[in-house]
Every structure is written in structure tokens, then in C-alpha cells.
Amino acid sequence: MTDNVRFLRPKPGGDTEKITINLGYVDLGHIDLLVQDGFYSNRTDFIRTAIRNQIERHADATKQSVIRRSLDLGLRHFSREDLEAARAAGERLDIRVLGLASIAADVTPELAQAAIASISVLGTLQASAAVKAALADRTR
């Protein structure tokens, strides 16, 4: 029986973050009506589309802000080797990311503290709980 099941889209995985929003009953009803009438496949599809439309609407302002703030856009991964090289060079990193910043699982809290001067992530920071705690005083 399950041989005829087809997935239209992959389920959200490692490249998404779950958020919760509160909507009024009337707004939610409007969304449900649009879904029932076939404009969107489900509530999530409507919300994602609305968010993307707003981001596109403000694209020029966002680009200017990214430049002004010297943000890395997208995915930025910091390996243990990256941080060891910065520490060996006597440098401390100022990490500024719009998107996803990840610090490798094998990075110790001590190495993170020694190599990272500040960290600002608009989006999501993936790091061990110990590294996040070690960087709490320099996270904006």
C-alpha cells in the first residue's frame, strides 16, 4: 500500500529552523481559506511565501545593511583548524553572519574563547552548549 506514496518536497531538515508565531483568528481564517481554495498547499507554504515576498520587497535595504555591517551572507563554518590558525597568528576573530554560523563539534570552549573576540549572528548559531556558554559574554 505504501508503494504509491510520493513525497512532493523533502521534509525540512538541517537547513531550516522552526519558529512559532501567534496569529489572530481572523488572519488564520484567511490563511485557511486561501489554502482550501488551492492558492497554497498548506499554512506553512503561505507563511514562507509571505516571508520571502517581504524579504524581496526590502532586498535593497537589506543589501546595504549587509555591506554596512560587514556581514558574511549565508553559511559560515568555523573548524577547529580555522580557530587554531587564528590563535597561532595571534588574531581573534570578529564573526558577523547573516544566515547560519556553525562552530565545529571538536572545538573546545577554551579554543573558542582564545580565538573569537566577538560573535554576532542574525539567523542561527550552531555550536556545542559548552562553546555557546563560553562565548556568551561576547555574543550579540
Q: Is 13 a residue whose pLDDT tops 60?
A: no
Sign of CA dihedral 50, 51, 54, 56: negative
The residue among 95 and 5 whose pLDDT is bigger is: 95
- Does this model's pTM top 0.75? My answer is no
The rounded mean pLDDT for the chain is 91
pLDDT tens track for 39-52 = 999 999 999 999 99
Residue 58: helix, strand or coil by DSSP? Answer: coil
Instruction: Give the residue from 78, 62, 72 showing the smallest Cα distance to 121.
Output: 72
Residue-level length of the chain: 140
Contact 125, 98 (CB under 8 A): no
Q: Give per-residue pLDDT as tens, 56-72.
A: 999 999 999 999 999 99
